[in-house]
Amino acid sequence: MPAAALTPRGRRAAAGLALTAAVALAVTGCGGGGGGGSKDDPKPPSATAGRQAGGGTADTASPSVTPTQVLAQLKGEDDVMVTINSAVRDQDGFVTVQGSIANNGTSPFNAVNWMGQETALARSGPSVAGAVLVDEAGKKRYYVLRDTDGRCLCTMGLVGIKPKETRPFFAQFPAPPADTTQVDFELPTMPPAKITLSDGEG
């Protein structure tokens, strides 16, 4: 069943509760491509944010998003394209990445390979739970935040994306240090892409 919408205000409220766990999600040791990292990568503890109903799949727009702005595009298997339109810091110490997923293929697409390899992430179902921000300069990886039930603070319910259909997505991460302006966005099965972080209104 598709997940319920999660507004930017709701995401910020959930993220605020996760603040104390956010620092722990930045794990030392920067890996290469491949999205979720190898099985030997240390795994972060779950964030303590209150669970949002379904994680949101529809209302992912933010006042800071410019719809025509494209930070990066990732082209993967089955002719699926991920477009990143914004990567915005807020005053609570988080980064929210937003964009769209377009199925340019001929068969329905299910994001089962994008939720990462951790057993705990299976609760998020087909989603972008396996996304990672990599700060190469700081040699750190930042994983998608989770609520108290282990579900990601990201778009879930990414199943049955029809050919020629486009859906919005978001994923929320702990923010790298303020002097880090660029990171690599990695998603399992997709090539990595460098994106620029911007400051939101907080």
Domains identified in the chain, total number = 1
Domain of 116 in residue numbering reads as 8-197
Return the CA Rg of the chain.
15
* C-alpha to C-alpha distances, 116 to 5, 96, 107, nearest whole angstrom: 22, 18, 22
Please list the residues that pair with 83 across neighbouring strands: 73, 100
Q: Tell me, yes or no, whether 146 lies in a domain.
A: yes
> To 5 degrees, how large is the angle CA 37–CA 148–CA 166?
60
* CA–CA dist 107, 78 (Å, integer): 8
On whether the CB atoms of residues 155 and 127 are closer than 8 A, the answer is yes
Rounded to the nearest angstrom, the gap between the alpha carbon of residue 167 and the centroid of all alpha carbons in its chain is 14
Q: Tell me, yes or no, whether 202 lies in a domain.
A: no
In the block, tokens 């002719």 appear at: 79
* CA–CA dist 110, 5 (Å, integer): 19
Give pTM, 2 decimals.
0.69
Q: Tell me, yes or no, whether 1 lies in a domain.
A: no
Q: Tell me, yes or no, whether 3 lies in a domain.
A: no
Q: Which run of H or of E encompasses 8? A: helix 8-17
CATH code assigned at 178: 2.60.40
On whether the CB atoms of residues 161 and 155 are closer than 8 A, the answer is no
Q: Average pLDDT over the chain, rounded to whole? A: 76
pLDDT for res 202? 47
Q: Is 6 helix (H, G, I), strand (E, B) or coil?
A: coil
Q: Tell me, yes or no, whether 93 lies in a domain.
A: yes
pLDDT for res 26? 44
Handedness of CA 119, 120, 126, 129 (dihedral sign): negative
Low-confidence spans in the chain with pLDDT less than 50: 1-10, 13-66, 202
pLDDT for res 67? 56
* Side chain identity at residue 80, one-letter code: V
Q: Tell me, yes or no, whether 184 lies in a domain.
A: yes
Q: Tell me, yes or no, whether 2 lies in a domain.
A: no
pLDDT for res 115? 87
pLDDT digit string, tens, across residues 111-157: 999 988 777 778 899 999 999 999 998 899 999 999 988 899 999 99
pLDDT for res 123? 85
pLDDT for res 201? 64
Q: Tell me, yes or no, whether 147 lies in a domain.
A: yes
